[in-house]
Protein backbone atom coordinates (compact mmCIF):
# COMPACT_ATOMS: atom_id res chain seq x y z
CA UNK A 1 0.00 0.00 0.00
CA UNK A 2 2.90 2.38 0.77
CA UNK A 3 4.32 1.77 -2.70
CA UNK A 4 0.98 2.47 -4.42
CA UNK A 5 0.31 5.65 -2.42
CA UNK A 6 3.86 6.91 -2.98
CA UNK A 7 3.60 6.29 -6.73
CA UNK A 8 0.25 8.12 -6.88
CA UNK A 9 1.74 11.05 -4.97
CA UNK A 10 4.87 11.33 -7.13
CA UNK A 11 3.33 10.83 -10.58
CA UNK A 12 0.11 12.63 -9.67
CA UNK A 13 1.93 15.73 -8.44
CA UNK A 14 4.39 15.86 -11.35
CA UNK A 15 1.82 15.42 -14.12
CA UNK A 16 -0.60 17.85 -12.47
CA UNK A 17 2.10 20.53 -12.13
CA UNK A 18 3.14 19.93 -15.75
CA UNK A 19 -0.41 20.37 -17.05
CA UNK A 20 -0.98 23.36 -14.76
CA UNK A 21 1.91 25.03 -16.57
CA UNK A 22 0.18 24.52 -19.92
CA UNK A 23 -3.11 25.79 -18.45
CA UNK A 24 -1.62 29.02 -17.09
CA UNK A 25 0.34 29.61 -20.31
CA UNK A 26 -2.82 29.15 -22.40
CA UNK A 27 -4.66 31.69 -20.27
CA UNK A 28 -1.76 34.15 -20.51
CA UNK A 29 -1.90 34.22 -24.34
CA UNK A 30 -5.67 34.15 -24.72
CA UNK A 31 -6.09 30.54 -25.82
CA UNK A 32 -9.43 28.92 -24.94
CA UNK A 33 -9.05 26.03 -22.49
CA UNK A 34 -11.72 23.45 -23.22
CA UNK A 35 -11.04 21.20 -20.25
CA UNK A 36 -8.71 21.08 -17.24
CA UNK A 37 -8.88 17.73 -15.49
CA UNK A 38 -7.50 16.58 -12.17
CA UNK A 39 -6.90 12.93 -12.97
CA UNK A 40 -7.58 10.97 -16.15
CA UNK A 41 -10.98 9.87 -17.58
CA UNK A 42 -13.62 8.89 -16.97
CA UNK A 43 -14.85 12.01 -15.22
CA UNK A 44 -16.60 11.87 -11.83
CA UNK A 45 -17.86 15.45 -11.61
CA UNK A 46 -17.22 18.80 -13.26
CA UNK A 47 -17.81 22.55 -12.93
CA UNK A 48 -18.16 24.78 -15.98
CA UNK A 49 -18.52 28.60 -15.76
CA UNK A 50 -21.35 29.52 -18.17
CA UNK A 51 -23.53 32.59 -18.83
CA UNK A 52 -26.18 31.06 -16.54
CA UNK A 53 -23.74 30.29 -13.72
CA UNK A 54 -21.44 27.45 -12.69
CA UNK A 55 -22.82 24.25 -14.16
CA UNK A 56 -22.23 21.20 -11.97
CA UNK A 57 -22.36 17.71 -13.49
CA UNK A 58 -22.13 14.33 -11.78
CA UNK A 59 -21.10 11.34 -13.91
CA UNK A 60 -21.92 7.64 -13.55
CA UNK A 61 -23.25 4.71 -15.53
CA UNK A 62 -26.61 5.24 -17.25
CA UNK A 63 -28.62 3.69 -20.05
CA UNK A 64 -27.73 4.98 -23.49
CA UNK A 65 -29.94 5.32 -26.54
CA UNK A 66 -29.37 1.67 -27.48
CA UNK A 67 -30.22 0.50 -23.96
CA UNK A 68 -26.59 -0.30 -23.04
CA UNK A 69 -24.83 1.13 -20.03
CA UNK A 70 -22.67 4.14 -20.84
CA UNK A 71 -20.69 6.57 -18.67
CA UNK A 72 -22.21 10.01 -18.72
CA UNK A 73 -23.80 12.85 -16.72
CA UNK A 74 -26.56 11.58 -14.41
CA UNK A 75 -27.15 14.88 -12.57
CA UNK A 76 -26.82 18.49 -13.72
CA UNK A 77 -27.46 21.71 -11.80
CA UNK A 78 -26.51 25.37 -12.04
CA UNK A 79 -25.26 26.14 -8.53
CA UNK A 80 -24.48 29.88 -8.70
CA UNK A 81 -25.66 33.08 -10.36
CA UNK A 82 -24.80 34.24 -13.88
CA UNK A 83 -21.16 35.01 -14.69
CA UNK A 84 -20.42 38.13 -16.74
CA UNK A 85 -17.34 36.68 -18.49
CA UNK A 86 -17.68 32.90 -18.48
CA UNK A 87 -14.66 30.96 -19.70
CA UNK A 88 -16.69 27.85 -20.63
CA UNK A 89 -13.72 25.81 -19.36
CA UNK A 90 -14.75 22.50 -17.88
CA UNK A 91 -12.94 21.84 -14.59
CA UNK A 92 -13.32 18.20 -13.70
CA UNK A 93 -12.27 15.49 -11.28
CA UNK A 94 -11.56 12.12 -12.91
CA UNK A 95 -11.22 8.59 -11.59
CA UNK A 96 -7.57 7.81 -12.38
CA UNK A 97 -5.61 9.95 -9.87
CA UNK A 98 -2.38 10.26 -11.89
CA UNK A 99 -1.98 13.98 -12.46
CA UNK A 100 -4.27 15.52 -15.04
CA UNK A 101 -4.49 16.93 -18.53
CA UNK A 102 -5.37 20.12 -20.39
CA UNK A 103 -7.24 20.31 -23.67
CA UNK A 104 -7.07 23.61 -25.55
CA UNK A 105 -8.71 24.84 -28.73
CA UNK A 106 -6.75 24.67 -31.98
CA UNK A 107 -4.13 22.07 -31.05
CA UNK A 108 -3.54 18.67 -32.64
CA UNK A 109 -2.41 16.54 -29.72
CA UNK A 110 -2.85 12.99 -28.43
CA UNK A 111 -6.62 13.20 -29.06
CA UNK A 112 -5.87 13.61 -32.81
CA UNK A 113 -8.71 16.13 -33.06
CA UNK A 114 -8.20 18.02 -36.32
CA UNK A 115 -10.97 20.60 -35.78
CA UNK A 116 -9.31 23.94 -36.58
CA UNK A 117 -11.58 26.89 -37.36
CA UNK A 118 -9.01 29.70 -37.33
CA UNK A 119 -10.77 31.45 -34.42
CA UNK A 120 -8.55 33.97 -32.57
CA UNK A 121 -8.78 31.99 -29.32
CA UNK A 122 -7.30 28.84 -30.92
CA UNK A 123 -3.64 27.97 -30.30
CA UNK A 124 -3.02 27.46 -34.00
CA UNK A 125 -4.04 31.12 -34.60
CA UNK A 126 -1.34 32.49 -32.29
CA UNK A 127 2.15 33.43 -33.47
CA UNK A 128 4.97 30.92 -33.08
CA UNK A 129 6.49 32.65 -30.04
CA UNK A 130 3.21 32.32 -28.13
CA UNK A 131 2.76 28.74 -29.29
CA UNK A 132 6.32 27.96 -28.17
CA UNK A 133 5.59 29.51 -24.77
CA UNK A 134 2.54 27.27 -24.39
CA UNK A 135 4.41 24.13 -25.49
CA UNK A 136 7.34 24.73 -23.13
CA UNK A 137 5.34 25.80 -20.06
CA UNK A 138 4.90 22.26 -18.70
CA UNK A 139 8.64 21.58 -18.87
CA UNK A 140 9.38 24.92 -17.20
CA UNK A 141 6.96 24.09 -14.37
CA UNK A 142 8.62 20.70 -13.78
CA UNK A 143 12.05 22.35 -13.61
CA UNK A 144 10.73 25.01 -11.22
CA UNK A 145 9.13 22.30 -9.06
CA UNK A 146 12.46 20.47 -8.83
CA UNK A 147 14.26 23.70 -7.88
CA UNK A 148 11.57 24.48 -5.27
CA UNK A 149 11.72 20.99 -3.73
CA UNK A 150 15.52 20.84 -3.65
CA UNK A 151 15.69 24.38 -2.21
CA UNK A 152 13.06 23.58 0.42
CA UNK A 153 14.88 20.41 1.44
CA UNK A 154 18.19 22.28 1.68
CA UNK A 155 16.61 24.99 3.85
CA UNK A 156 15.03 22.32 6.08
CA UNK A 157 17.87 19.82 6.36
CA UNK A 158 20.93 22.04 5.80
CA UNK A 159 23.95 21.82 3.49
CA UNK A 160 26.52 19.03 3.50
CA UNK A 161 30.17 20.08 3.79
CA UNK A 162 32.94 17.59 3.08
CA UNK A 163 35.01 16.54 6.11
CA UNK A 164 36.30 13.17 4.84
CA UNK A 165 35.77 11.76 8.34
CA UNK A 166 34.71 8.04 8.19
CA UNK A 167 31.44 8.81 9.98
CA UNK A 168 28.17 7.37 8.69
CA UNK A 169 25.60 10.07 7.90
CA UNK A 170 22.98 7.98 6.05
CA UNK A 171 22.07 4.30 5.90
CA UNK A 172 20.06 3.02 2.91
CA UNK A 173 17.04 0.85 3.81
CA UNK A 174 17.32 -2.87 2.99
CA UNK A 175 21.07 -2.66 2.32
CA UNK A 176 23.72 -4.74 4.15
CA UNK A 177 24.71 -1.82 6.40
CA UNK A 178 21.21 -1.65 7.86
CA UNK A 179 21.11 -5.42 8.29
CA UNK A 180 24.22 -5.42 10.52
CA UNK A 181 22.94 -2.48 12.60
CA UNK A 182 24.96 0.51 11.36
CA UNK A 183 23.25 3.82 12.18
CA UNK A 184 23.87 7.53 11.63
CA UNK A 185 26.84 8.77 13.69
CA UNK A 186 28.75 5.46 13.73
CA UNK A 187 32.47 5.85 12.99
CA UNK A 188 34.10 3.11 10.90
CA UNK A 189 37.50 2.27 12.44
CA UNK A 190 38.64 -0.71 10.36
CA UNK A 191 37.78 -2.91 7.37
CA UNK A 192 39.28 -6.43 7.20
CA UNK A 193 41.60 -5.42 10.02
CA UNK A 194 42.93 -2.41 8.10
CA UNK A 195 42.70 0.86 10.05
CA UNK A 196 40.45 3.50 8.46
CA UNK A 197 41.35 7.19 8.79
CA UNK A 198 39.18 8.80 6.07
CA UNK A 199 36.00 8.31 4.09
CA UNK A 200 38.04 8.09 0.89
CA UNK A 201 39.92 5.06 2.25
CA UNK A 202 36.63 3.48 3.30
CA UNK A 203 35.05 4.04 -0.14
CA UNK A 204 38.06 2.75 -2.07
CA UNK A 205 38.13 -0.51 -0.11
CA UNK A 206 34.38 -1.23 -0.28
CA UNK A 207 34.07 -0.18 -3.94
CA UNK A 208 36.93 -2.53 -4.81
CA UNK A 209 35.16 -5.57 -3.36
CA UNK A 210 31.82 -6.14 -5.12
CA UNK A 211 29.97 -9.27 -3.93
CA UNK A 212 32.73 -10.05 -1.41
CA UNK A 213 32.62 -10.67 2.31
CA UNK A 214 34.23 -7.95 4.42
CA UNK A 215 34.73 -7.48 8.17
CA UNK A 216 33.77 -4.12 9.70
CA UNK A 217 34.55 -2.55 13.09
CA UNK A 218 32.91 0.70 14.17
CA UNK A 219 32.59 3.01 17.18
CA UNK A 220 29.36 4.28 18.69
CA UNK A 221 30.24 6.54 21.59
CA UNK A 222 32.48 4.43 23.81
CA UNK A 223 31.21 1.10 22.44
CA UNK A 224 32.90 -0.98 19.75
CA UNK A 225 30.89 -3.14 17.33
CA UNK A 226 31.96 -5.57 14.64
CA UNK A 227 30.26 -7.63 11.94
CA UNK A 228 30.92 -9.51 8.74
CA UNK A 229 28.87 -8.57 5.71
CA UNK A 230 28.72 -9.37 1.98
CA UNK A 231 28.75 -6.29 -0.26
CA UNK A 232 26.29 -5.77 -3.08
CA UNK A 233 27.26 -5.04 -6.65
CA UNK A 234 26.24 -1.66 -8.05
CA UNK A 235 27.26 0.84 -10.69
CA UNK A 236 28.46 4.39 -10.26
CA UNK A 237 29.47 7.05 -12.77
CA UNK A 238 33.22 7.39 -13.21
CA UNK A 239 33.76 10.19 -15.70
CA UNK A 240 31.80 9.19 -18.81
CA UNK A 241 31.67 5.51 -17.87
CA UNK A 242 29.85 3.29 -15.40
CA UNK A 243 31.94 1.19 -13.02
CA UNK A 244 30.88 -1.97 -11.18
CA UNK A 245 31.61 -1.43 -7.50
CA UNK A 246 30.89 -2.90 -4.11
CA UNK A 247 28.27 -1.24 -1.90
CA UNK A 248 26.88 -1.74 1.61
CA UNK A 249 24.43 1.21 1.59
CA UNK A 250 26.11 3.99 3.57
CA UNK A 251 27.09 7.57 2.81
CA UNK A 252 29.16 10.01 4.82
CA UNK A 253 32.38 11.97 4.85
CA UNK A 254 30.51 15.21 5.45
CA UNK A 255 28.71 17.23 8.10
CA UNK A 256 25.52 19.29 7.95
CA UNK A 257 25.20 23.04 8.57
CA UNK A 258 22.21 25.37 8.37
CA UNK A 259 21.45 27.25 5.12
CA UNK A 260 19.72 30.58 4.47
CA UNK A 261 17.01 31.29 1.87
CA UNK A 262 19.36 32.55 -0.87
CA UNK A 263 21.86 29.76 -0.32
CA UNK A 264 19.03 27.19 -0.34
CA UNK A 265 17.70 28.58 -3.63
CA UNK A 266 21.19 28.47 -5.12
CA UNK A 267 21.54 24.87 -3.93
CA UNK A 268 18.16 24.01 -5.48
CA UNK A 269 19.28 25.36 -8.86
CA UNK A 270 22.63 23.59 -8.58
CA UNK A 271 21.10 20.22 -7.69
CA UNK A 272 18.55 20.51 -10.50
CA UNK A 273 21.40 21.23 -12.93
CA UNK A 274 23.35 18.29 -11.52
CA UNK A 275 20.52 15.83 -12.21
CA UNK A 276 20.01 17.25 -15.69
CA UNK A 277 23.69 16.53 -16.29
CA UNK A 278 23.30 12.99 -14.98
CA UNK A 279 20.38 12.38 -17.38
CA UNK A 280 22.31 13.74 -20.36
CA UNK A 281 25.34 11.62 -19.43
CA UNK A 282 23.16 8.51 -19.04
CA UNK A 283 21.53 9.10 -22.42
CA UNK A 284 24.96 9.51 -24.00
CA UNK A 285 26.06 6.19 -22.51
CA UNK A 286 23.03 4.43 -23.99
CA UNK A 287 23.65 5.96 -27.42
CA UNK A 288 27.37 5.01 -27.38
CA UNK A 289 26.65 1.52 -26.06
CA UNK A 290 28.36 2.02 -22.70
CA UNK A 291 24.99 1.42 -21.04
CA UNK A 292 22.14 -0.82 -22.14
CA UNK A 293 18.48 -0.15 -22.93
CA UNK A 294 17.85 -2.77 -20.24
CA UNK A 295 18.92 -0.16 -17.67
CA UNK A 296 15.94 2.06 -18.52
CA UNK A 297 13.11 1.82 -16.01
CA UNK A 298 9.39 2.50 -16.34
CA UNK A 299 6.34 2.93 -14.11
CA UNK A 300 6.94 -0.27 -12.12
CA UNK A 301 10.50 0.77 -11.25
CA UNK A 302 9.31 4.28 -10.39
CA UNK A 303 6.66 2.78 -8.10
CA UNK A 304 9.26 0.56 -6.39
CA UNK A 305 11.69 3.45 -5.86
CA UNK A 306 8.87 5.73 -4.70
CA UNK A 307 7.83 3.13 -2.14
CA UNK A 308 11.40 2.72 -0.90
CA UNK A 309 11.76 6.51 -0.65
CA UNK A 310 8.48 6.83 1.25
CA UNK A 311 9.57 4.20 3.77
CA UNK A 312 12.86 6.07 4.22
CA UNK A 313 10.98 9.26 5.18
CA UNK A 314 9.50 12.44 3.76
CA UNK A 315 12.91 13.91 2.88
CA UNK A 316 13.81 10.91 0.73
CA UNK A 317 10.38 10.91 -0.94
CA UNK A 318 10.54 14.63 -1.81
CA UNK A 319 14.10 14.24 -3.09
CA UNK A 320 12.97 11.38 -5.30
CA UNK A 321 10.02 13.48 -6.52
CA UNK A 322 12.38 16.31 -7.48
CA UNK A 323 14.66 13.92 -9.40
CA UNK A 324 11.73 12.41 -11.32
CA UNK A 325 10.46 15.94 -12.04
CA UNK A 326 13.80 16.72 -13.72
CA UNK A 327 13.53 13.46 -15.68
CA UNK A 328 9.99 14.29 -16.79
CA UNK A 329 11.07 17.74 -17.95
CA UNK A 330 14.01 16.35 -19.91
CA UNK A 331 11.96 13.61 -21.59
CA UNK A 332 9.20 16.05 -22.56
CA UNK A 333 11.60 18.51 -24.21
CA UNK A 334 13.05 15.84 -26.53
CA UNK A 335 12.15 16.56 -30.20
CA UNK A 336 9.89 13.51 -30.49
CA UNK A 337 6.39 13.90 -32.01
CA UNK A 338 3.79 13.52 -29.29
CA UNK A 339 5.99 15.23 -26.68
CA UNK A 340 6.20 18.97 -25.98
CA UNK A 341 9.63 19.03 -27.61
CA UNK A 342 8.15 17.49 -30.74
CA UNK A 343 5.58 20.30 -31.01
CA UNK A 344 8.34 22.89 -30.50
CA UNK A 345 10.47 21.18 -33.15
CA UNK A 346 7.62 21.46 -35.68
CA UNK A 347 7.31 25.15 -34.84
CA UNK A 348 11.03 25.60 -35.54
CA UNK A 349 10.67 23.82 -38.89
CA UNK A 350 7.79 26.13 -39.80
CA UNK A 351 9.85 29.15 -38.75
CA UNK A 352 12.86 28.10 -40.82
CA UNK A 353 10.86 27.11 -43.89
CA UNK A 354 8.35 29.95 -43.44
CA UNK A 355 5.60 27.52 -44.39
CA UNK A 356 2.88 26.03 -42.24
CA UNK A 357 2.81 22.25 -41.91
CA UNK A 358 -0.56 20.99 -43.11
CA UNK A 359 -3.07 19.48 -40.69
CA UNK A 360 -2.82 16.14 -42.52
CA UNK A 361 0.99 16.12 -42.17
CA UNK A 362 0.72 17.02 -38.48
CA UNK A 363 -1.70 14.13 -37.95
CA UNK A 364 0.71 11.68 -39.62
CA UNK A 365 3.69 12.99 -37.62
CA UNK A 366 1.68 12.84 -34.39
CA UNK A 367 0.60 9.25 -35.05
CA UNK A 368 4.19 8.22 -35.84
CA UNK A 369 5.40 9.83 -32.62
CA UNK A 370 2.71 8.11 -30.57
CA UNK A 371 3.69 4.75 -32.10
CA UNK A 372 7.34 5.40 -31.16
CA UNK A 373 6.39 6.36 -27.61
CA UNK A 374 4.20 3.26 -27.30
CA UNK A 375 7.13 1.09 -28.44
CA UNK A 376 9.42 2.75 -25.87
CA UNK A 377 6.79 2.23 -23.17
CA UNK A 378 6.59 -1.48 -24.03
CA UNK A 379 10.39 -1.73 -23.76
CA UNK A 380 10.56 -0.10 -20.32
CA UNK A 381 7.62 -2.15 -19.01
CA UNK A 382 9.34 -5.31 -20.28
CA UNK A 383 12.50 -4.20 -18.43
CA UNK A 384 10.47 -3.60 -15.28
CA UNK A 385 8.82 -7.04 -15.43
CA UNK A 386 12.15 -8.73 -16.13
CA UNK A 387 13.64 -7.07 -13.04
CA UNK A 388 10.76 -8.35 -10.91
CA UNK A 389 11.58 -11.96 -11.81
CA UNK A 390 15.38 -11.69 -11.75
CA UNK A 391 15.97 -9.78 -8.53
pTM to 2 decimals?
0.78
> Same domain for 177 and 208?
yes
Last residue of a domain, one of 241, 257, 273: 257
Number of structural domains found in the chain = 3
pLDDT over 70 at 239, yes or no: no
Q: How confident is the model at residue 237 (pLDDT cuts 50, 70, 90)?
A: low
* Distance from chain centroid for Cα 227: 38
In this structure, is residue 73 part of a structural domain? yes
Q: How confident is the model at residue 230 (pLDDT cuts 50, 70, 90)?
A: very high
In this structure, is residue 233 part of a structural domain? yes
Answer yes or no: are the C-beta atoms of 201 and 188 closer than 8 Å: no
Q: How confident is the model at residue 241 (pLDDT cuts 50, 70, 90)?
A: low
pLDDT digits (tens, 9 = 90+) for 345-377: 988 988 888 888 887 887 788 778 778 878 877
> Same domain for 90 and 190?
no
> Same domain for 274 and 138?
yes
Helix 299-312 with 359-390: angle, nearest 10 deg: 60
Considering only CA atoms, which of 31, 28, 33 is closest in space to residue 121? Answer: 31
Share of residues in the chain with pLDDT > 70 (%): 94
pLDDT over 90 at 389, yes or no: no
pLDDT digits (tens, 9 = 90+) for 278-317: 888 888 877 777 766 676 777 777 777 788 888 878 988 9
> Same domain for 291 and 362?
yes
> Same domain for 223 and 242?
yes
pLDDT digits (tens, 9 = 90+) for 18-41: 999 999 999 999 999 999 998 888
In this structure, is residue 116 part of a structural domain? no
The pLDDT value recorded for residue 338 is 79
Answer yes or no: are the C-beta atoms of 215 and 191 closer than 8 Å: yes
> Same domain for 150 and 189?
no
- Residue range(s) defining the domain that contains residue 57: 33-104
Q: How confident is the model at residue 115 (pLDDT cuts 50, 70, 90)?
A: low
Last residue of a domain, one of 236, 257, 278: 257
In this structure, is residue 379 part of a structural domain? yes
pLDDT digits (tens, 9 = 90+) for 5-22: 888 888 889 989 999 999
Q: How confident is the model at residue 83 (pLDDT cuts 50, 70, 90)?
A: confident
Find residue 227's DSSP bridge partners: 216
Cα distance between the two ends of the chain = 21
> Same domain for 325 and 265?
yes
Task: Determine the Cα angle at 215 with ends 213 and 220, to 5°.
Answer: 140
The pLDDT value recorded for residue 369 is 78
> Same domain for 176 and 321?
no
What is the pLDDT averaged over residues 150-176?
A: 90
In this structure, is residue 118 part of a structural domain? no
Strand intervals (E) in the chain? 33-50, 53-63, 69-78, 90-104, 159-162, 168-171, 187-191, 194-195, 213-220, 223-230, 232-238, 241-247, 250-252, 254-257
Q: Alpha-carbon distance 169 to 315, whole Å? A: 14
Amino acid sequence: MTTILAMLFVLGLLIFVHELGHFMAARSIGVRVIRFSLGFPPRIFSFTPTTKGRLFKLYFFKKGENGKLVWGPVYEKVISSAISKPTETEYCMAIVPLGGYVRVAGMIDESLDETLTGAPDELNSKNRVKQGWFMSAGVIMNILLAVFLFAGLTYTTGIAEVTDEPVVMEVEPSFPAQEIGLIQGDRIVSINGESIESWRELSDIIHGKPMEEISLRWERGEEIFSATVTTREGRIAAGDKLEQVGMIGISGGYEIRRAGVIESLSSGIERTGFWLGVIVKSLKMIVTGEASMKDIGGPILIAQLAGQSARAGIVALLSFTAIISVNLAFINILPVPGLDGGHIFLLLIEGISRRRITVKARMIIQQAGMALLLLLMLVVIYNDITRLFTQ
